[in-house]
Structure 1
Amino acid sequence: MLKLICLLSLLWWVEADSPMPEQTKQIVDLLTKIREEVNPTASNMMLMEYSDELEVLAKNWLTNCTYPLPNGTDYPDYKDVVDVLKSGVNQADASFDLSAMYESEKNAYNYESNTCTSSCANYRRMVWSTASQVGCYRHFCARSDHWSESKYIMACLYRPVVLDKNERPYKNGTPCSECPFGPDCNHNQCTQKQTTATTPTTSNSTISTMPTSPSSSTGSSKSTSPEQPTTSVSSQLRAISHLIFAIVTLELIINLNR
């Protein structure tokens, strides 16, 4: 029985791959730093927070192992949502750490000409000024028509973003001088005052033909800014589940060595 429990726990571990609380904080902290230090400076850069709803949308998408991201016309929950992807044959290659991607792409982008000397699409999305929420998930996908090889896919979804390749990702100017909700500023970024910023859900309806989770209808968005990091209930449950898995695995090892 113990072996069966451990096996089931292992299968869950592989399939259910949400970032841990400390990882969501690292994601937000990195994006805060990246957006704070853009050169030239931004006058309308929004301060980002972690969104449980976007994490659920990323999970709903990745568990289908399809590509590209569902369009907002057919799936309203994905309206004004863009993705940043990492992939690899192991989890380490598809980690939730975005720093290497940022470093490799930031110098390729020229703000003045709004051009890239090499790949920089992910960097542009990371510093798109209107984005105020991010949510991430990772899943293993087998080789298919959508993926050329079996690999782990990590996706971070950003919202709200309406990409335009002819538009610069932000306006150059004095930090926070063109904030949409007033001049409140944190880390050279505009903070959100309106209640709509913390209740971003666009639809409580089930996403057709896609797996759903009960939490997708809550529309929760948990702030994890560097000043006041918070931990969501779902993140706490994930941490407890991971702890249970570790305990069960340890017990199995002890029993096998007896």
Structure 2
Amino acid sequence: MRATLAVTAWMVSLVSCYSYTSTTLPDIENEDFIQDCVRIHNKFRSEVNPTASDMLYMTWDTKLAQIAKAWAKTCQFKHNEQLKPPHKLHPNFTSLGENIWTGSVSIFSVSSAITNWYSEIKYYDFKTRKCQKVCGHYTQLTKSETKSNVTTLFSIQSGRYTYVTDTPLSFSLLVH
């Protein structure tokens, strides 16, 4: 099923913490970047096999972008603990989770980050619905109930940066 939800979104924030200027990485308002994120995310979601009959289509939500940007400004390479309490950061979503990708600015692309998460499919057992190794990024990306993604890019001292996705969910997220 392809359902576009007005309150759901795929959002992108960009914050420079230390060594890189905001012009080094794509900006939160860059339409091409936003469309790329939405398109690639939905592409991977549409390729899930077995096919989900109730897979939701991602769109954009400004409030989630602000939440992701605020967290990115802290320049901490860890999950945001404030995402756990229901409705704490966003009134429309009971649960938020994160995927984090880190790497060199020179090799970043939206496609490579999302492909990296999706590649964890090899560790997911569809029969038991459990991970043999780390595959929480894959399950986060492809759960049909996932309603929205917020992506944040920020650079850190070493010239590496992190790509974070906060996702409203209708279930408890498995994170590592």
Same fold by TM-score, threshold 0.5 exceeded?
Answer: yes
What 5-or-longer segments of structure 1 have no aligned partner? 1-9, 143-148, 166-258
Give the count of matched residue pairs. 149
Q: Indicate the RMSD between aligned Cα atoms, in angstroms.
A: 2.8
Mapped pair 1:120 → 2:135: yes
Equivalent residue in structure 2 for 1:138, among 139, 144, 153: 153
Aligned residues of 1:109 and 1:116 also touching (Cα < 8 A) = yes
Partner of 2:23: 13
Q: Pairwise mapping of residues 7-156 of structure 1 onto structure 2 (< 5 A)?
A: 11-13=21-23, 17-18=27-28, 20-66=30-76, 67-71=78-82, 72-73=84-85, 76-77=88-89, 79-88=94-103, 90-97=104-111, 98-142=113-157, 151-156=160-165
1:73 counterpart letter in structure 2:
P
Question: What is the CA-CA distance between 1:40 and the residue it aligns to?
Answer: 1.4
Question: How far apart are the structure 2 equivalents of 1:12 and 1:140?
Answer: 9
1:80 to partner: Cα distance = 0.9
Q: Matches of residues 150-229 of structure 1 in structure 2 within 5 Å? A: 151-165=160-174
Which structure has the highest helix share of the two?
1
Give the counterpart letter for 2:81 in structure 1. Answer: P
Question: After superposition, what is the alpha-carbon deviation per residue over 1:129-177, rounded to whole angstroms, capped at 9, x for unaligned?
Answer: 22222221211234xxxxxx76311112211343255xxxxxxxxxxxx
Q: Mean alpha-carbon deviation: is it higher for 100-109 or for 116-125?
A: 100-109
Normalising to structure 2: TM-score of the pair? Answer: 0.70
| Amino acid across the alignment from 2:60 | Y
CA distance change for structure 1 residues 104 and 151 in 2, over 3 Å: closer, same or farther?
same
Name the structure with the higher strand share. 2
Give the TM-score normalised by structure 1.
0.50
Q: Compute the displacement of 1:92 (Å).
A: 3.5
Q: 1:116 to 1:135 in 2, by over 3 A?
A: same
Whether contact under 8 Å (1:95, 1:154) holds in the other structure is: no
- Where 2:33 maps in the other structure, the secondary structure is helix
Conserved 8 A contact 2:28-2:34: no
Mapped partners of 1:105, 1:118: distance in 2: 8
Aligned partner of 1:240 in structure 2 is none
Q: What residue identity is the alignment partner of 1:18?
A: I
**Partner secondary structure for residue 70 of structure 2:** helix
Q: What per-residue deviation string (whole Å, max 9, x for no partner) do you get for residues 183-227 of structure 1?
A: xxxxxxxxxxxxxxxxxxxxxxxxxxxxxxxxxxxxxxxxxxxxx
For the 8 Å contact 2:150–2:167, the answer to whether it is kept is yes
Identity of aligned residues (%): 19
CA spacing shift, 1:15–1:96, aligned 2, 3 Å: closer
Per-residue deviation, 1:20? 2.5
For the 8 Å contact 2:154–2:163, the answer to whether it is kept is: yes
What is the identity, as a one-letter code, of the residue corresponding to 1:69?
N
Unaligned runs of 5+ in 2: 1-19
Give the Cα–Cα distance (whole angstroms) in 2 for the partners of residues 25 and 95 of structure 1. Answer: 13
The aligned amino acid for 1:160 is: L
Q: Which has the larger radius of gyration?
A: 1
